Structure 1
C-alpha cells in the first residue's frame, strides 16, 4: 500500500531512489506543509544534510563594484548557485552569464581555489524524470543588498535556498514566513553528507559527517554588495563573502501533497516516493434536468485518463437536500441508475477517478437538481395485443392521478400520428375510437394505438395496444343514390385502383337505386376496358329513378397492397 506525502509529519525523511547527487539518493526532510506563499497544496522539502560545499557566487573581475570584483555578488537572482541548482545540463554546460560582469565559479574565481564547480553537471542532471516533472514552480522572496535597492525581490525557482525569515532568524529584512521545521538553533543544525566531506577541497578538522557545518541562505547581507547570510555550525546567523567555497548547500523544493510514499521508512529512515500520477478528473458528469421522487434517474460521466495506465474505476457520490456526500457507486462503469426517494427536495452528484495505487482525481460535480415529488398519472389496463380486427372498433380506458387538483392531458396516437388531445377527468372512462373513415385508410397488417396521459407537473404514463388488420374484402357504394330525372340507360366509369393478381375486382351499377332491392348490372369489363356501358333495366318500385354503383374487391390469393383510390364517371 501507499500513503500521501501530506500524511507524513514535518521532519519526516523522504527520498526518490532515482534522484541522486554524488552517486547517492538525496534524502530530503519535510520542512512544512501548505506553507504560506508557496504553491497551493505543496509539501516543502529541504535536504536533510548539507549536500555539497560551494561558493554562492564567483569573483566578478570585470564588475565596477569593488567588493563584487574581489568577493563575488551577493544577489540571489544573479548567483552562480541559483543557476547551478536549477540546471539539468551536462558536465561543464550549466553556466551562462547572467549579466555583463558575471563569471563562472572556476578555480581562479573562488576563495583560495576551494570547491570550484563550473565543470560539474547541473544539480538537476541527477534527478529522475518523475522528480523533475513533480517539482512545483515556486515564487519566493529574498533579501537584497542596499546597493541593489535594498528590501526584497521576488523570484521563481524549482530549487532554491531558504531565507533568514524562513529558518526563524532575524535578518536585514522579512522575506517570506517561517517554515514549520525551524524553531531554534538546534533545529537549524545541519551535518554534511560523507560525500560532501570527501569531495571537498577545503580541509578542516571540524568538517566531518558527524559535526554540524555552516550553510548558505538566500538573503544578501544588506550592508555590502558581496556578503551573504548563512547559518553557523551553532545554528545562529552569520554572513560571509559570496566567493567562499567552504559553505554548505542545503536546497529546498516543493512537491504536491498528493504524491505517494511508502507506508514505512527504509534503512535510511526515509519514506520512498512512489511515482504514481493521479488520474485526470472525469471529463463530464450528466444528470437529467428533470428529477422525480419515487422514480429512477440515470447518471453518466465522461472518461478519465491515467498517464501510468493503472486507472481502476470511478467513485460516484450523492448529496441529498444539501447534506453530506455519500458514496453510492464504485467501479469501472461510467453510468449508474439511482433510485430517487419520494420526498427528497434536491439532489446533486459528483464523480472522481481512482487508480490501482490509490491515487484519486479531483471531483467533477453536477449542478444541484430540484426533485419534483409528483405521482405520475395511471392509465387503466396493461399494454396488450388486441388481436385481429376486421372492422372499425373502439378501446375503452380511464386515467387516474392520486395527486388532487392536477390537469390531465390525454393524447391518442394511431401508428405514431396524433388522433386527438383533450383534458381528461381523473377516474372517468373514455374511448379510443377507430372510425370507419380511419379504418379504410389503414393497410392490412400490424398497427399501434398509443395513449399518453400527462399531468401539469411533468408526470406521464403511456399505454400501448397493438392489433392486426386483416380485411379480405372491399365494398364501396354511395350511401345515397345520385338523383336522375329519368331512367338512366347508359354511362361510363373509371376506377383508380391497385388490384394485384389473384384478387377479384367487380363493378356493378343500377338505375333504380332508390328501390328496396335495386337491379344491379355487372359492368366490370366496360370499366376495365374504359368503354361505355348500357343498362337493360326499365322498371322501378320507388317514386324516382336513382343512379348508384357498387365496387367489390375480394383478395383471394393475392398478396401485397390492394386498394381503391377513387371512382368517377357520367351517366344519362
Structure 2
C-alpha cells in the first residue's frame, strides 16, 4: 500500500532509491508543507545532511569589484552553486558563464584549492527520471548585497538553498517566511554524509559524520560583495567568503503533495517514494456514424492499461456545437448511452482513464458527428400480450410519421421470421393477419408478432404482440357434404400431415352425410395404407345422399410439429 507524501509529518525522512549523489540515494527531510509563496499543494524537502562541500562561487579574476576578484560573487542568481544544483549535464559540462566576469569553480579559483567541482556532473544528473519530472519550479526570494542595489530579488529554481528568513534566522533582509522545520538552533544543525566526508579534500578534526558542520544559505551579506550568509555548526547565523570550498551544500526542492510514499520507513528511517505511472489512453472510442435527435447515442471505448495495475475507471466528456467539453460519465464501465438533444448540431466525445492514485491518461477523441433532426415514426397501440388464441386472427395497427416526404417501410415478422415487407402510407390502418395455413404450422407455446417501421433516415419504431397457442386436439369435417346421385360404395383418401409419434390420428367417412346423424365409418387404416375403403351403410333418412369425412388428431404427450395441410381423394 501507499500514502500521500503530504500525510507525513514535518521532519519525516523521504528518499527515492533511484535518485543518487555520490552513488547513494539522497535522503531528504520534510521542511514544510504547502509553504507560503511556494507552489500550491506542495511539500518542501531539504537534504537531511550536508551532501557535499563546495564553494558558493569562484574567484572572478576579471571583476571590477576587488572583493569578487579575491573571494567570489555573493549574488545567488550568478552563483556557480545555483547553476550546478540545477544542471543535468554530464561531467565537466554543466558550467557556462553567467556574466562577463564569471569564472568556473576550478582548482585555482577556490579557497586553498579545496573541493573544486567544475569537472563534476550536474547535481541533477544523478536524479531518476521520475524525480526530475516531479520537481516543481519554485519562485523564492533572496537577499542582495548593497553593491547590487541591496534589498531582495526573486528567482525560479527547481533546486535551491533556503534564505536566512526561511531558516528562522534574522538576516540582513526578510526573504520569504520561516519553514516549519526550523524552530531553534538545534533544528538547524546538520551533519555531513559519510560520502561527503570521504570525498572532501578539506580535512579538519571537527569535520566528521557525527558532528554538525556549517552550510550555505542563498542570501548575500548585504554590506559586502563577496560574503554569503550561512548556518554555522551551532545552528546560528554566520557568513563566509563565497569562494570558500569548505562550505556545505544542503539543497531544497518542492514536490507535489499527492506523490506516494511507502506506508513504513526503511532501514534508513526514510519513507520510500513510489512513483505512480499514469494509465495509457483508451485504445479507441466508437460513436454511431448517424445520430438522430431524441434518440439514444451508444458510445463505447477501448481498454486502458496501467503499468502499476491500478486503472480505476474512465471519464467520458462530450462537446456539442462549438461549446466546451463537459463530463457526462465517470466509472468503470466502457459503454455509455447518451440521448441526442434537438439543440445539438454536432457532437463529439472524448474519454480518458484514471487510476486509484489520481493519475490520468491522455484523451482518446471521437470525430465530430452531425446530428440529424428527424422524428421517428410511431405505431399505434402498445406492446401487448394478446393471451391465448385458438385459431387464425388479425391484429390492426396504424403507422404514422410526422416528417413529410419520407418513405415508410414496414416489416412484419412471426417469431423473428419475415412474413411481409411493404411501403406504408402514414396514418392508414393495416392488419397483421395470421392465416389458417400459418396457424396450423405454429407449435404450441408462446409466439411473437413484430412490426417494425423505418422512415429511411434512421428513425424506427417497433411494436410487439405476444400470444400463446395451446391446441391438443384437431377435429374438422366438410361443412357441406359432397352431393352424390346415389350412395357412395367405395372411396380413397390422402391426408397431407405432420403427426408426431405418440399422437392419435383418426379418419372417418360417411355416404349419408346429409342425415341428421350420419353413419360414420372408421377408414384410418385405409388412409394410412393408401388403400380403397368400402362403405357398409346402405340407408339414409335425408332426401339426398352425400359424401363427407371428418379427421381427428389428439396430441397426447407427443412433442414436435403437428398439423394437417391438405385432404384429397375420389369416390364412386
TM-score by length of 1: 0.58
Q: Residue 305 of structure 1: CA displacement?
A: 6.9
**In 2: Cα distance, 1:127 partner to 1:187 partner:** 27
Q: Which residue of 1 aligns with 2:409?
A: 415
- Decide which of 330, 342, 351 is 2:332's aligned counterpart: 330
Partner of 1:312: 311
Inter-CA distance 317–420: structure 2 relative to 1 (3 Å threshold): closer
Secondary structure at 1:166 match in 2: coil
Match of 1:80 in 2: 80
Q: How does 1:252-291 map to 2 (within 5 A)?
A: 252-279=252-279
Q: Which moved more, 1:24-33 or 1:134-143?
A: 134-143
Q: Distance in 2 between matches of 1:282 and 1:11?
A: 41
Helix, strand or coil for the counterpart of 1:165? Answer: coil
Q: Which residue in the other structure is 2:101 paired with?
A: 101
Alignment of 1:146-545 (within 5 A): 146-279=146-279, 308=307, 310=309, 312-314=311-313, 329-330=331-332, 333=334, 335-336=335-336, 353-355=353-355, 358=357, 360-361=359-360, 380-382=381-383, 396=396, 414-415=408-409, 431-432=429-430, 450=453, 462-464=461-463
Q: State how far apart, in whole Å, the 1-side matches of 2:38 and 2:422 are.
A: 66
Provide the secondary structure at the position in 2 that maps to 1:198.
helix
| Residues 543-564 of structure 1 deviation map (CA, whole Å, 9 limit, x = unaligned) | xxxxxxxxxxxxxxxxxxxxxx
Question: How far apart, in 2, do the equivalents of 1:189 and 1:258 lie?
Answer: 29
SS in 1 for 2:166: helix
- Alignment deviations for residues 315-343 of structure 1 (CA, whole Å, 9 cap, x no partner): 6799xxxxxx9x98436x3x25699xxxx
Contact 2:18–2:128 (CA<8 Å) still a contact in 1? yes
Q: Residue 257 of structure 1: CA displacement?
A: 2.3
Check whether the contact 1:300–1:336 (CA below 8 A) recurs between aligned residues. yes
Q: Distance in 1 between matches of 2:247 and 2:137?
A: 26
Q: 1:264 offset after TM fit, Å?
A: 1.1
Distance 1:354 1:10 in 2: 30
Q: 1:354 to 1:151 in 2, by over 3 A?
A: same
Distance 1:225 1:34, change over 3 A: same
Q: How far apart, in 2, do the equivalents of 1:380 and 1:18 lie?
A: 72
Q: Per the alignment, do residues 360 and 226 of structure 1 end up closer, same or farther by CA in structure 2, a change over 3 Å counting?
A: same
1:450/1:465 contact within 8 Å kept? no
Match of 1:90 in 2: 90
Cα deviation, 1:86-128, whole Å, max 9, x if unaligned, reads: 1222222222211111111122211222222222222122222
Q: Distance in 1 between matches of 2:88 and 2:330?
A: 47
Q: Aligned pair in 2 of structure 1 residues 449, 315: CA closer, same or farther (>3 Å)? A: closer
Q: Which residue of 2 aligns with 1:35?
A: 35
Deviation of 1:59 after TM superposition, in Å, equals 0.9
Q: What is the number of equivalent residue pairs in this alignment?
A: 396
Return the alpha-carbon distance in structure 2 between the equivalents of residues 86 and 93 of structure 1: 13
In structure 2, do the counterparts of structure 1 residues 213 and 274 end up closer, same or farther at CA, with 3 Å as the change threshold? Answer: same
Q: What is the CA–CA distance in structure 2 between the aligned matches of 1:183 and 1:281, rounded to whole Å?
A: 47
What residue number does 2:56 align with? 56
CA, structure 1 residues 44+103, in 2 after alignment: closer, same or farther (shift >3 Å)?
same
How far is the alpha carbon of 1:217 from its aligned partner?
A: 0.6
Structure 1 residue 54, shift from structure 2 partner = 0.9
Aligned to 1:32, the other structure's residue is in SS state strand
Give the match's secondary structure for 2:279: coil
Q: Do the aligned residues in 2 keep the contact of 1:278 with 1:354 (CA within 8 Å)?
A: yes
SS in 2 for 1:90: coil
- 8 A contact 2:57–2:72 mirrored in 1: yes
